[in-house]
Structure 1
Amino acid sequence: MSAEQGDSDYLSGHQEYQQVFEELVVVRDRLVAEVVCSQPLLDQIHVQHRESARNLLYYLALRRRDLRPLQIRLAALGLSSLGRAESHVMATIDAVLEMLQRLLDKTTDVTDSGESSIDFNTGERLLAAHAESLLGPAAPGRGVRIMVTMPSEAADDYELIYHLLQQDMECMRINCAHDDVEAWSRMIAHLRRAEHALGKRCRVVMDLGGPKLRTGPLEPGAAVVKVRPRRDEYGRVIAPARIWLYPAEQPAASPAPADACLPVEAAWLKRLEVGDKIRLIDARHSRRSLRVVDCLDQGCWLEANKTTYLVPGTTLRLRSHKGKKLRATEIVAVSPRENCLLLHPGDQLIVTRDQTPGRPEVRDSAGQVLTPARIGCSIPSVFNDVQSGESIWFDDGKIGGVVEKVASDQVQVRITQTRLQGAKLRADKGINLPESQLRLPALTQQDLEDLSFVAQHADVVELSFANRASDIEQLQSELQRLDGRQPAIVLKIETRLGFENLPDMLLTAMRSPCCGVMIARGDLAVECGFERMAEVQEEILWICEAAHVPVIWATQVLETLAKEGMPSRAEITDAAMGHRAECVMLNKGPHVLHAVKTLDDILRRMQAHQTKKRSMLRELRLATHSSGKQDQDGHQSNDVNGS
């Protein structure tokens, strides 16, 4: 290479360093200026969070422009591309500027202005300290805590709570939308007893119910019960249907699982003997015969070998096994079936503003719709904030539609998305209005009543449907009004509005000494769109890391495993992503102990490979298995034992 070419390359490289340096200085100056303007806001932040709030404001200012071109240029120069700046924004920028200053032989230090005391180690230390303050210490060898939601049965099942704590559950979550004060008290008492027995500690987390926007009641379905035996692949009966008859005058629950429980006249029932046959004509006008197989004081068991449809008034004619004909009786009552609305794309649905029971659509003989399906809404006032053209979702996103018209007494919805074969909408299913600016208060009257118990017994209170900074202010005000112990606050982010307002809500929550965020991914996925869920949860993790606020990863984690005992491949991968948070929440299920053990194993394994966005380069076993591995003398090695 000629001297001239070398000088040209040097000048070109020097110019590139200078341009990148100047661009990064502009970025830094803008961050400092924006945070200076926010000083009155910072003055309201609790002293324990003030530097963290400053770092959050730096991060928000940094992310208000597209940094990708600058990142590419920094990486090409062998410098940090600012991709891991969340917990120490100014320290990251200053480190890159300092390196550029050395390369450019600059004597003036543009970073010597003391804007932030949070260096690389301090940012991680603050997040770890805040996580421990909120969630308690993590189990040895695992940096991420495990939270478990209590089922109602936990109020009377000490062994369940004992074994969960034994498996290193760090947080016990009680959902205040279920059970009552007495049940919650027993759950907490079981936990305290288990803590004493095991010598461990566990945080109590109580989740306020919040406003529940759900579908209203439906008219009862047909009063008919279908009983059918179990058959094999060839249609042969392998287990008859079992029917429990009990006296209508003295109802008695079946002592074992039954395909149907039916009330009949007590005097007639007492005449039954084992071996008797009961003949009837069912609702389809089919002749059927039932056999008496057991007689108890409370009722009798019958078996059926053919599918039978039974309705109130069905006549039961007894023929004794001794050959005697006895008088007949009728089935007194049959519980109506749960009704539902079967909806397809293109169908119209009327959502009413009252609790009048809804009903399915009515069609004429030609299949034309005479009246569309109707259903009510648990909080009619929300439709004051709804406009035509906005989307509406039902039942965790299983059914989607568009609001066509908003009237004084109802809202007309056009169904746009369901399964190919249609979807059934039932009573008490969730409604989401992600595009509507709803003015629902986060705290309901029931929440305010529950809060006195929560403040007294919980270490953490979770605010459901946190949407605005004013929601957090209301909760803080109510806790101060109670004038007792102040539990930490966790914001449940489960709406699009809550996600969009997260920075302001975080800065408000940081006025309290201890706070956190839960990514409630069920409603959030419906609100933001399932295709955006991965992006949304990443953004929440970044924002919270910048604020040094711990995150709880929640909703449907290992759900199939907890409920059915066998996980899907997809949910194992999903659970592994949970290590990016400070806590992972499991929901209730009959196999929840197995789920806790599995999650514990996943989190311990992932901890050695990843922390937040940074890959950890521990010794990779796969690399030691390579057939091209050489020993110190340069010879091929066939060692496959790994490390």
Structure 2
Amino acid sequence: MSTEKDAGVTPRYFSDRTSLKERSRWQSDQIDEVITELSQIRAEMLNKESAYAEQLKAIPSERHPSIRNLLHYIALRSRDITTLQLKLARLGLSSLGRCESSVIATIDSVLSIMQEITGKKVALLAEEAKPVTFSSGRHCMEKNTKKLLGEPPETMAPAIMVTMPATAADDYSFVRDLVDAGMNIMRVNCAHDNRDVWLAMIDNLRKAERELGRHCRVAMDLCGPKIRTAEIEPGPNVLRWKPKRDELGRVILPARIWISFSGTSVDEAGLFPQDSNTVLLPATGTLLPTLNPGDRLRFTDTRGRNRVLVVTTKNDHGVWAESSSTAYVIPGIQMHLESGDNKRKTGKKLTVGNVPAKQRSIVLRKGDLLTVTNTDIPGHPARYNEQGKLLIRSSIGCTLPEIFKDVQIGHRILFDDGKIAGVVVKTAETHLVAEIIRAQEQGDRLQSDKGINLPDTELHLPALTKKDIEDLEFIARHADIVNYSFVRRREDLEHLAQELRRLNRTDIGIVLKIENRQAVDNLPMLLTMALRSPASGVMIARGDLAVECGWERLAEVQEEILWMCEAAHMPVIWATQVLEGLAKRGLPSRAEISDAAMGARAECVMLNKGPNIVGTVRCLRDILSRMHAHQVKKRSMFRRLEMVDSLLDQPVEN
């Protein structure tokens, strides 16, 4: 049976009969054990550095302190030191819990104190042999952050990166307001819009910089290979509308139907934007131009129900009509004009035109089987006979058929940001079969163009696609930073470096988007490769990481990334859904505020677009400025607390 002493933990108490000599002997034993273990760890760190000596030659000399410190940290974290940390804490010494930026300097500091206490000689590294000291470690991080992200904000809080909507190309005042509110980096996602739009966004930014006297960097995201669901065969050509009703079934808002004279859409006609209660009805016939407000169009829908449309307004492009009943219409249905109060058919009619096919989805429940194919054949829902027996199981295509050579039986496959989860039960050259293991009880709908994640599969897809290489030419001319999507392996970074040399932009900042399980597993190696670049950083893409690693592990994974990056003096961008409720709906949740405050431990926080994004930037800047005064990375800062005044101002009672 182990004892507290065996575990290296201070006994809860000494008995009255325990002599001072015994107590001193126990403490001396503890110190000897700590010195021995710390010395062993230090030796492992130096051995790790020696083993990496050849690779160090490929890294710029100014980056050597960071790579050496990273190697020391990797050696430290390759063993469980929790018991050692308890011993150090009980001896009143540093428990190494904040050693990331200066690993060996922290250990030598502890050993130096023990040397003074015990008088025992301990081999310590000379200051000049250490990669970084306490102060130079912080300086390395500050220098690397400045190289990548630019001059820090006036408050010294983390920088703010903002994703641009398409309107940033046309609305200069919008971009100006963002810069004025505190945006430090404009993010342009190459997955959306085109080069003309990107250039217009950047031109607006440069104009705002000149007007406000501020500098803002441009970061552009490469798309990377996107694994998504392919097309699903369309449903029938049917159009449905439905009025809104109250709890008693009374119509409170009729369905609005736009009947166009020449196929003009609602937007093209300069009218109200379409919503869930507005439909566009294509129609043909000479009756159309003669329709006037008050006219009634009677027809029989696909279910044999008699229905009526009442014309309400008219303009040069078409007419608005309303319906107080749900209706289903298909091409060819005829609508007859009724006359006056007697509601007789006048003989005039119009015909429903080319109604678009209904977009289909596949309903999946736990236990269902789904075939995922590498063909261009559209997917389809499961098909049953009249007795409800399954004839053909559901099927859907995958936009990247290259994945099929890597997927194995037992691997998980996730759809639509992990809302639907399956496990592969069969693989073949042209398809795989997955059993659904997670879906809502009533079923979840899977549509086309939804993301597919394979967290257990080691994919051998190149991170740079043909489109990415084309986009890099624009990025090299106009951007300060390239955000590298889908990075997983050493080869991915080598390929990007090769393309940047071709474009003569080896100086551009590189941000590794850590968004999949392989990238997390390979993070130490990816960091050593990224240190070859003069300016580099890491983005914690928490949305994709949550899907790949599991929601329950996200908090742990993001902490591990923060630790490893601090050891490499690599700036971190805290991304995904930061203050999303505030940006989109104008009101943040309490959890979002706490999450934004956690972002103060990173060097930059990223916001996504939303109608309230300018106010969100101001709010985030205020949160980060306040939190930065309390905390730097993992180290809590004891700034003066105003709350203590409430007690200090009170008179002392006798």
Farther off after superposition, 143-152 or 130-139: 130-139
Alignment of 1:263-342 (within 5 A): 263-321=282-340, 325-342=346-363
- What SS does the aligned partner of 2:282 have? strand
Q: Report the alpha carbon displacement of residue 109 of structure 1 after superposing the two structures with TM.
A: 4.5
Q: Report the alpha carbon displacement of residue 223 of structure 1 after superposing the two structures with TM.
A: 2.1
Alignment of 1:10-21 (within 5 A): 10-21=24-35
In the alignment, what sits opposite 2:272? Answer: 256
In the alignment, what sits opposite 1:544? Answer: 565
In the alignment, what sits opposite 2:624? Answer: 603
- What SS does the aligned partner of 1:306 have? coil
The number of aligned residues is 633
In the alignment, what sits opposite 2:528? Answer: 507
Farther off after superposition, 350-359 or 316-325: 316-325
Instruction: Say if 1:611 and 1:160 are closer, same or farther in 2 by CA, change over 3 A.
Output: same
Does residue 71 (structure 1) correspond to residue 85 (structure 2)? The answer is yes
**Whole-Å Cα distance in 2 between the matches of residues 251 and 157 of structure 1?**
25
Q: Report the alpha carbon displacement of residue 226 of structure 1 after superposing the two structures with TM.
A: 2.0
**Whole-Å Cα distance in 2 between the matches of residues 329 and 89 of structure 1?**
80
Does residue 443 (structure 1) correspond to residue 464 (structure 2)? The answer is yes
In the alignment, what sits opposite 1:641? Answer: none
Q: Report the alpha carbon displacement of residue 250 of structure 1 after superposing the two structures with TM.
A: 6.8
Which residue identity is paired with 1:439? H
Q: Report the alpha carbon displacement of residue 211 of structure 1 after superposing the two structures with TM.
A: 0.3
In the alignment, what sits opposite 1:383? Answer: 404
Could you tell me which of 57, 62, 82 is aligned with 1:43? 57
In the alignment, what sits opposite 1:635? Answer: 653
8 Å CA contact retained: 1:223, 1:337: yes
8 Å CA contact retained: 1:88, 1:123: yes
8 Å CA contact retained: 2:288, 2:350: no
Does residue 161 (structure 1) correspond to residue 182 (structure 2)? The answer is no
**Whole-Å Cα distance in 2 between the matches of residues 3 and 407 of structure 1?**
75
- What SS does the aligned partner of 1:256 have? coil
**Whole-Å Cα distance in 2 between the matches of residues 249 and 41 of structure 1?**
65
In the alignment, what sits opposite 1:179? Answer: 193
Q: Report the alpha carbon displacement of residue 560 of structure 1 after superposing the two structures with TM.
A: 2.1
Does residue 580 (structure 1) correspond to residue 580 (structure 2)? The answer is no
**Whole-Å Cα distance in 2 between the matches of residues 624 and 224 of structure 1?**
70
- Please list the CA deviations of residues 443-500 of structure 1 after superposition, one character each: whole Å capped at 9, or x if unmatched: 0000001111101110000110110111011101110011247311111111100111
In the alignment, what sits opposite 2:253? Answer: 239
8 Å CA contact retained: 1:388, 1:406: yes
Which residue identity is paired with 2:206? R
8 Å CA contact retained: 2:404, 2:430: no
**Whole-Å Cα distance in 1 between the matches of residues 366 and 283 of structure 2?**
44
- Please list the CA deviations of residues 202-261 of structure 1 after superposition, one character each: whole Å capped at 9, or x if unmatched: 000000010011000011123222222233343333322211111357777452234111
- What SS does the aligned partner of 2:115 have? helix
**Whole-Å Cα distance in 1 between the matches of residues 264 and 642 of structure 2?**
69
8 Å CA contact retained: 1:101, 1:109: no
8 Å CA contact retained: 2:102, 2:134: yes
Farther off after superposition, 611-620 or 274-283: 611-620
- What SS does the aligned partner of 1:451 have? helix
Does residue 394 (structure 1) correspond to residue 415 (structure 2)? The answer is yes
Instruction: Say if 1:112 and 1:257 are closer, same or farther in 2 by CA, change over 3 A.
Output: closer
Could you tell me which of 404, 411, 426 is aligned with 2:425? 404
Which residue identity is paired with 2:47? A
Alignment of 1:515-526 (within 5 A): 515-526=536-547
Farther off after superposition, 355-364 or 79-88: 355-364
**Whole-Å Cα distance in 2 between the matches of residues 203 and 419 of structure 1?**
43
Which residue identity is paired with 2:504? D
Q: Report the alpha carbon displacement of residue 117 of structure 1 after superposing the two structures with TM.
A: 3.9
**Whole-Å Cα distance in 2 between the matches of residues 347 and 9 of structure 1?**
66
- What SS does the aligned partner of 2:437 have? strand
RMSD of the TM alignment (CA)?
2.0
In the alignment, what sits opposite 2:5? Answer: none
Q: Report the alpha carbon displacement of residue 326 of structure 1 after superposing the two structures with TM.
A: 3.5
In the alignment, what sits opposite 2:204? Answer: 190
8 Å CA contact retained: 1:215, 1:375: yes
Which residue identity is paired with 1:256? F
Which residue identity is paired with 2:592? E
8 Å CA contact retained: 2:507, 2:534: no
Instruction: Give the alignment's TM-score, normalised by structure 1.
Output: 0.95
**Whole-Å Cα distance in 2 between the matches of residues 575 and 251 of structure 1?**
42
Could you tell me which of 555, 558, 582 is aligned with 1:534? 555
8 Å CA contact retained: 1:277, 1:289: yes
Farther off after superposition, 340-349 or 235-244: 235-244
**Whole-Å Cα distance in 2 between the matches of residues 165 and 104 of structure 1?**
58
8 Å CA contact retained: 1:442, 1:466: yes
Q: Report the alpha carbon displacement of residue 114 of structure 1 after superposing the two structures with TM.
A: 4.4
- What SS does the aligned partner of 2:574 have? strand
**Whole-Å Cα distance in 2 between the matches of residues 290 and 166 of structure 1?**
51
Gapped regions of structure 2 (runs ≥ 5):
1-14
Does residue 563 (structure 1) correspond to residue 581 (structure 2)? The answer is no
Which residue identity is paired with 1:93? I
Q: Report the alpha carbon displacement of residue 137 of structure 1 after superposing the two structures with TM.
A: 2.0
Q: Report the alpha carbon displacement of residue 320 of structure 1 after superposing the two structures with TM.
A: 3.5
Instruction: Say if 1:419 and 1:623 are closer, same or farther in 2 by CA, change over 3 A.
Output: farther
Could you tell me which of 84, 91, 96 is aligned with 2:110? 96
**Whole-Å Cα distance in 2 between the matches of residues 96 and 485 of structure 1?**
41
In the alignment, what sits opposite 1:640? Answer: none
**Whole-Å Cα distance in 2 between the matches of residues 266 and 173 of structure 1?**
50
Q: Report the alpha carbon displacement of residue 630 of structure 1 after superposing the two structures with TM.
A: 8.1
- What SS does the aligned partner of 2:214 have? coil
**Whole-Å Cα distance in 1 between the matches of residues 265 and 185 of structure 2?**
42
8 Å CA contact retained: 2:488, 2:522: yes
Q: Report the alpha carbon displacement of residue 559 of structure 1 after superposing the two structures with TM.
A: 1.6
Q: Report the alpha carbon displacement of residue 351 of structure 1 after superposing the two structures with TM.
A: 0.4
Which residue identity is paired with 1:265? T
**Whole-Å Cα distance in 2 between the matches of residues 609 and 43 of structure 1?**
39
**Whole-Å Cα distance in 2 between the matches of residues 497 and 398 of structure 1?**
21
In the alignment, what sits opposite 1:56? Answer: 70
Which residue identity is paired with 1:292? V
- Please list the CA deviations of residues 14-61 of structure 1 after superposition, one character each: whole Å capped at 9, or x if unmatched: 222122112211111121122112111122112221111100000001
8 Å CA contact retained: 2:285, 2:351: no
Instruction: Say if 1:112 and 1:251 are closer, same or farther in 2 by CA, change over 3 A.
Output: closer
**Whole-Å Cα distance in 1 between the matches of residues 103 and 253 of structure 2?**
68
- What SS does the aligned partner of 1:545 have? helix
In the alignment, what sits opposite 2:371? Answer: 350
8 Å CA contact retained: 1:97, 1:111: no
Farther off after superposition, 159-168 or 612-621: 612-621
8 Å CA contact retained: 1:560, 1:567: yes
**Whole-Å Cα distance in 1 between the matches of residues 17 and 302 of structure 2?**
102
**Whole-Å Cα distance in 1 between the matches of residues 235 and 484 of structure 2?**
37
8 Å CA contact retained: 1:90, 1:116: yes
**Whole-Å Cα distance in 1 between the matches of residues 24 and 319 of structure 2?**
98
Instruction: Say if 1:377 and 1:264 are closer, same or farther in 2 by CA, change over 3 A.
Output: same
In the alignment, what sits opposite 1:23? Answer: 37
- Please list the CA deviations of residues 117-145 of structure 1 after superposition, one character each: whole Å capped at 9, or x if unmatched: 41111111111111111111232224201
Identity of aligned residues (%): 46
In the alignment, what sits opposite 2:214? Answer: 200
**Whole-Å Cα distance in 1 between the matches of residues 229 and 88 of structure 2?**
53
